[in-house]
Chains A and B, each alone.
Chain A
Amino acid sequence: MNEEMDQFERRLSRQPLRRAPAEWRAEILAAARDAQAVQPAARVTHRSWLSILNTQFATILWPCPKAWAGLAAVWVLILAVDFSDRDRSRGLAENSAPPPPEVVAQLRLQQRMLTELIGPRESSDADQSKPLAPRPHTERLKILST
């Protein structure tokens, strides 16, 4: 690679170049400084909603952090107790054995008797207006004996 310059090239290299206008210096440096100053604001505007939320929370909780932490602990305790109770009752219901069919039949019979003696707890207006029909005495005795 020959880097030697001939006479023509040397002549060209001696041609003086134009100077940059002096007023550009202040203008360009001012523009660069403005760009530098604008940058932090631009960063703030591009923050994610999560970081904004975090900042808001921090602002709210900052005055009395111990009180907020205590409140949060109480809530955690309440939720834990609630969940443990729910699990226990569900477990008991699942673990208990079904009652024998005789017991079920007896309970149903008692329930029916109670209904017949007391009458339905909630009856319609039409039923209430109807006069109670007298039952035969023998039938009443049969129900009582059973």
Chain B
Amino acid sequence: MPRGPELERLYDEHAQALYAFLLNLTRDDADTRDLLQEIFVKLARDEKLLSNVRHERAFLIRLAHNAAIDLIRRRGTRERTRDNFAAEFSSPFAPASDPDEETFRANLSAALAELPPDQCAVVHLKLWEGLTFEQIAAALELSPNTAASRYRYGIDKLRGRLRPLYDEMKRTER
């Protein structure tokens, strides 16, 4: 069982990544906090949970992903309306001082919220965790090909949704 200092180390090393991942999937601060706490309570209770784990981060991402998917299923009708009110949900991105950048982040946040959770998870791990498809596949218990195809579908949707804004921003930057 991870003792106090061990729990603190786990939190300091992984909580930020888990927080961003969970927030991107749940889009709710309270749910994200509950799931993050659930993960650490589980780690504290089960002494064997991390005993044979080689990659802590991948294992914790798997725990977070499973917990988030369970939550999304429990939400039911609430989750089905997520697309319509995506803008009202918590953004996983930090606020920007530049208005154009802020607009881009808001649109990106809304576009990510429209993705199915499976695609959103892969896109998040690839873009903001910098994991390879093999690592994503291991963390989410998928084949690398499935991870790659989910990423491609997700990116294509984001590109389609953000293209006008992105092109305009590129023009102004020149």
Q: Are B8 and A11 in contact (CB under 8 A)?
A: no
> Do A17 and B40 form a contact, CB below 8 Å, given A8-B159, A24-B33, A25-B15?
no
Q: Are B7 and A18 in contact (CB under 8 A)?
A: no
Q: Are A17 and B20 in contact (CB under 8 A)?
A: yes
Q: Are B158 and A16 in contact (CB under 8 A)?
A: no
A5 to chain B, nearest CB (A): 8
Q: Are A19 and B94 in contact (CB under 8 A)?
A: yes
Interface string of A1-28 (1 = CB under 8 A from B): 1010000110111011111100011011
Which B residues between 20 and 37 are near A, CB-CB below 8 angstroms?
20, 23, 33, 36-37
Q: Are A18 and B20 in contact (CB under 8 A)?
A: yes
Q: Are A8 and B166 in contact (CB under 8 A)?
A: yes
A1 to chain B, nearest CB (A): 5
Q: Are A25 and B20 in contact (CB under 8 A)?
A: no
> Do A36 and B20 form a contact, CB below 8 Å, given A15-B105, A24-B36, A28-B36?
no
B170 to chain A, nearest CB (A): 8
Q: Which residues of A contact B40 (CB under 8 A)?
A: 28-29, 31-32
Q: Which residues of A contact B45 (CB under 8 A)?
A: 35-36, 39
Residue B93 is within 8 A (CB to CB) of chain A in the complex:
yes
For the residues of B in contact with A, the DSSP-based class is helix
Residue A33 is within 8 A (CB to CB) of chain B in the complex:
yes
Which A residues between 118 and 138 are near B, CB-CB below 8 angstroms?
none
> Do A29 and B166 form a contact, CB below 8 Å, given A20-B15, A36-B44?
no
> Do A12 and B133 form a contact, CB below 8 Å, given A25-B15, A31-B37, A35-B41?
no
Q: Which residues of A contact B133 (CB under 8 A)?
A: 1, 3
**Bound Cα distance from A17 to B94, whole angstroms:** 5
Most buried by B among A11, A13, A20: A20
List 16 additional A-B contacts (Cβ < 8 Å) besides A1-B144, A33-B44. Answer: A1-B145, A1-B148, A3-B148, A13-B127, A16-B94, A18-B20, A19-B19, A20-B36, A25-B11, A25-B15, A28-B36, A29-B4, A29-B7, A31-B37, A35-B45, A36-B1
